[in-house]
Amino acid sequence: MAYVDGFVLPVPRKNLRAYRRLATKAGRLWRKHGALAVVECVGEDLKVAKVVTFPRAARAKPGETVIFSWIVYKSRAQRDRVNAKVMKDPLIQSMMTMKPIFDSKRMVYGGFKVIVEG
């Protein structure tokens, strides 16, 4: 079964265009090093009653929306190899020194083993 890295992060609405450019570059980089797919989604229908919403989980502030994204790999071992290559790539180093366009300390992240696929 596949393996997925998942992310939820708050992004100021005024930075969505810059985030999209950054995410496009990052997606190409992850795929270059072996990721099967990279998906980036911006929140649209986020007001749901009686559950913990994505904005609440990411501690989104007024003027921010939430990005929900994931990267798909063949396996956890392949994910670890891909991420090691990405972290050595000069492009990721330049991206990490850019002016931040979101608060990475409020990003929710985890690695997930796929248990149902269909």
Q: What is the pLDDT of residues 72-95, one digit of tens each?
A: 999 999 999 999 999 999 999 888
Predicted pLDDT of residue 93: 85
Taking the mean position of all CA atoms in its chain, how far away is CA 67? 7
Residues 6+ apart with CB under 8 A from 118: none
Q: Report which of 66, 53, 59 is spatially closest to residue 11, judged by C-alpha positions.
A: 66
Using an 8 Å Cβ cutoff, are 12 and 100 in contact?
no
Low-confidence ranges of the chain (pLDDT < 50): none
Domains and CATH numbers, the chain: 3-112 (3.30.70.100)
Supply the mean pLDDT for the chain.
Answer: 94
